[in-house]
Amino acid sequence: MAGRKRRGWNKYIADYDKLRMFLRYISYGCYHKQYLARQLGQSARSYEDNWARVRSFLPEDRLQAVRQGHREIHSLKGDSYHSSFNDLARTYAIKSLKSSSAFALLCLLQVFSGKAARSGREDRLADAADTNGANASAGVCSADDDGRDFLDEKTLLQYELVPTDRPFPKRVEDISRSTLHRYLCDLTDQGLLERREESGRYSYRLAPDILGGLREDEASALLAAIAFYRNVSLLGMPGYFLEQSLRARYPAAPCGEVPCQFKHMTITRILDDDVLYALACCIAEHRAVRFRYRGRGVVAIPLRLITDFESGRQYLLAIRKRRAVSKRFTIAQSYRIDFMQEVQPARAVKDQPEVTLPERHTLQLAFRYDDERGRDRLIYRIREHEPEAAIRDDGLGTLHVALETVDDLKLMPWLRTFYPIVRVEKDGPAHLAERMKIDIEEALKHYGIRPALP
C-alpha cells in the first residue's frame, strides 16, 4: 500500500502474554487448527504464523503433527521421566526480541568487552613500565579504582553501532539516545552490566563474572542444586538459563542423578512464569495488582500463590473490592493463574485491609452406579478425594453425596472424571449444573454426536 511502510514477518515472539493460550492448547494435542483459530479469535494465517514461530526454536523431537481425516493436529511432546528440561524456555528467553534489537545488544556488549580488554592491557603495560615499587604502591591505580573502563551514554553514542564501511541487513538502523538508554537498563537488570551515577550522569561497564573461576566439584554441586531447585520451584524459568550457562562454561563437570522430580510436570509449566514473577514481586513489595480475568479488568491485593498439585493448576489468593466503585478491598477470592493476562503492578498498599473470608457451603451431588462392585468403587474414589464427604445410598442405584466447598468450579477437574454418571441435585447451584452440561455437550460434539440434554 502506498504511503505505508511494509513490515517483514517477525519470527520472534512479540507478545508472550498473547501466545500463552495458543501454546497451552497446542500442548494438549487434541485440537485441530480450525478449532483453535475459532477458539482464540484468530485467523488461520495467525495460527500458521504462531506455529512457525514455535518450530523456529523448539527441537523437532519435541514437535508432533498427526492427521485425522483432512484435519491436522499439532502438539508438543514432553517426557518427565526422560528429561525435565523445558524447551519452551528458549521461546521465553527471546520474547519481544527483534533482529535489530539483538544486533544492537550484541554490538553494545562487544563495545564494553573491547573497552575492558584495552583497560586490562593498559594496566599491564603501566605495571611493566613502572620499575619503582614505592611509586607503584603510592600512585598507580587499577581500573577498578579510577573507573577508566566505565562508559557514559554520550560516549556510547559516538560508537557507530552500525558502521557505514560495509553493508548490513535491511531494517537494521542506528539507535537513538532513548533506545540506547533502554538497552543499557535491560542489560543492567540482567546482570550483564554494572552502572554507577556521578553528577547526575550514568556510566556503565561489564559486570564481574560471578561464574568464573569455579572448580569442577563446585560447578558439579551447583548443577545438582539447580536441578533440585528447577523441579520444586514455583517459577520454572530461572534454573534453565543458569544451568545452560554453567554447562557451556564447564562441559566436563558431572551433574549426577536429579535428586527429585515431579511425575506430572508438564511442558506448559513455563507459560505462566511472567505472571507468577510479577505477582511474586507485588506480594513482596506490598503492592496491589491490575490484570484482566476472563475478559474483565480486576484490581486486587495479592496475598499468596497457591499450587494445587492434584489438579495441576496454580492460583492467586487476593483481596478484591466488593464492587468496582468501592474504595475498600474486603472480598477474598482465588484466581486461576492461566486465565490472568496483562498483569501490571498498581499502587502500594499501606495498611493490611480487612478480609471477608469466602463462606463454605454444602454441595449436593448424585452418582449413579450399576452394581455393588461399581458402588464400592465409587465410594473409594469419592473418599480418596473428599474424605469428609457424607455419602448416602438410596438403594436404587444412586449415591447422594454432600461435601463442603468454597468454590464449586474448583471441583470441575475432579467431577469431569465421573462423566456422565454424576449430576448436581435439584437444589444445587445452577451455574455448576450448567457448566457440567456444557462440558458434556462439547465432548459429544467432538465425537460427531449432537446431544439434546435436558
pLDDT tens for each residue of 74-107: 888 766 665 666 777 777 777 767 777 888 888 8
| pLDDT band for position 136 (cuts 50, 70, 90) | very low
Under 8 Å between Cβ of 400 and 297: no
Please tell me the pTM assigned to this model: 0.69
Nearest-angstrom CA–CA distance, 405 and 116:
62
The pLDDT tens digits of the residues spanning 239-269 come to 788 888 888 889 888 877 666 666 556 667 7
Please write the tens of the pLDDT for every residue from 44-65. 888 888 888 888 878 887 888 8
Please give the pLDDT value at position 321: 84
Give the range among 5-14, 19-28, 91-100, 407-416 with minimum mean pLDDT. Answer: 5-14
Question: Residue 142: pLDDT above 50?
Answer: no
Which parts of 294-412 are beta strand (E)?
296-308, 313-321, 329-336, 340-348, 361-368, 390-393, 398-405
Average pLDDT, the chain: 80
Span 17-32, mean pLDDT?
Answer: 84
Backbone angles phi, psi at 357, to 5 degrees: -65, 145
Q: If you write DSSP's letter for every residue of 103-164 in order, what string do you get? A: HHHHHHHHHHHHHHHHHHHHHHHHHHH---HHHHHHH---HHHH-TT-EEHHHHHHS-SS-S
280 in Cβ contact with 245 (< 8 Å): no
Which residue has better confidence, 85 or 136? Answer: 85
- 339-385 pLDDT, tens digit per residue, is 999 999 998 887 777 776 677 889 999 999 999 999 999 999 999 88
> So what's the pLDDT on residue 171?
47
Q: Is a pLDDT exceeding 60 seen at residue 133?
A: no
Phi-psi group of 11: left, alpha or beta (phi > 0 → left; psi -120 to 50 → alpha; rest → beta): alpha
Q: Residue 167 pLDDT > 90, yes or no?
A: no
